[in-house]
Every structure is written in C-alpha cells, then in structure tokens.
Structure 1
Amino acid sequence: MDTITLAFIDNLFRGPSLLIILILGLLIFGRKLPEVGRGLGRGIVEFRKGLKGIEDEIEAESSKPSPKLSNRESSEVRTPVNDSGEDVRVSRNSGGQTPA
C-alpha cells in the first residue's frame, strides 16, 4: 500500500470520524445488538462447559491406575529373530532362547 492509503486509514479511526462510524453502526445494527450479546454470552458459556468436560475426562484418565503385566508377560519378550521367520521368545530369567 502506498503512504496516502495508510494515512487515510490512520486518520479514519481518529476523532470525529470514529464517532460518526460508531453512530452509524449503532443506528444500523442497534436492534440486533442485544441478540448478538446474548448469543455471544451463550457461546462463551458453552465453550467453558466444553473445556471443563475435557479437563474432567483428562483428569479421570490420568487418575486411573495403569494396567499391570503378569509375571509371565513381563518376563518374556516376543521378537522375530529367526531366519525362518518364526517368533522367538527370550526369557529374562534364563537368558536362553526357545522357539514359540
């Protein structure tokens, strides 16, 4: 933009020009302003309710205990290491490998 346009926009929102714009806006949209305010207020309330619901879900999930593995599940790890493509179980206790 050139400097003339920027100067016009800058001067438009100062002093009496801003007052005239506000009065025209009030005359045009005056009847709808209470409805807009109510709608905006309801929207904010619904947004806060939604946030509260999400916060409650997160808090409920974080307070649940994590599932514990049984001794057998925690002592064995299944990984495919055979050339034939068979899964091989590696036991932490014995250190040996046995085909699954």
Structure 2
Amino acid sequence: MALYVVPDKRGCGVADRLTASAVEWAGEHGYDRIQLYVTATNVHARHFYARSGFQPIQEIWCRHIAALPVDPPSDDVCETAQQSGELLIGPHEHLLADRQTS
C-alpha cells in the first residue's frame, strides 16, 4: 500500500478514510493482510500507521559503501590469466591494444 496526502489536506481525515477503504477492499477480496514500507525517518507516517492498527514486523538495515577506485592488474597478470583460460571480468583494453599493434 502506498499513501500520500498533499500537505494542505493533511489533518482532515483523508488518510484515515483512504486507509479504511484499503483495508475494507482487501478484506472483501480475500487478502489476509496489508503490508507497507515506511522509512525510519518518516516519524509522522509511522505514528499514523501505528494509530491505524499497523505494526512493524521487520526492519531493513542499510549501509552505503563508497565505490573505491580499483587499479587494473598488470599486463602480465592479465596475459597469464587469459592464456590459462580464466574469464577476465571488466574491460581489459590494454590487452586488446597490445594485440592490435602487433
């Protein structure tokens, strides 16, 4: 379920009516639950959903990792890997350039 009420209509019961309608519709169509996702920082939505009978059942944790620059392996390492039949992942233009000039 996704729910958004424009700021100038908040506090008028619109979200309550939309949520009640969604719960009613789901029940009439044989669903046994409604799941939704809300960010940990959206305190207003979390309070609204709790007040509406929803309860948290899990948490999703995230850690962002900055991409680190990776130096390509040396030509001799790639050449040895290629000769032994290993799969080289990623661009290895330095090998192609050597072959095109020879």
**TM-score range with shorter-chain normalisation?**
under 0.3
Structure having the higher helix fraction is 1
TM-score, normalised to structure 1's length?
0.22
TM-score, normalised to structure 2's length?
0.21
- Greater RCO structure (CA 8 Å; 6+ sep): 2
Structure having the higher strand fraction is 1
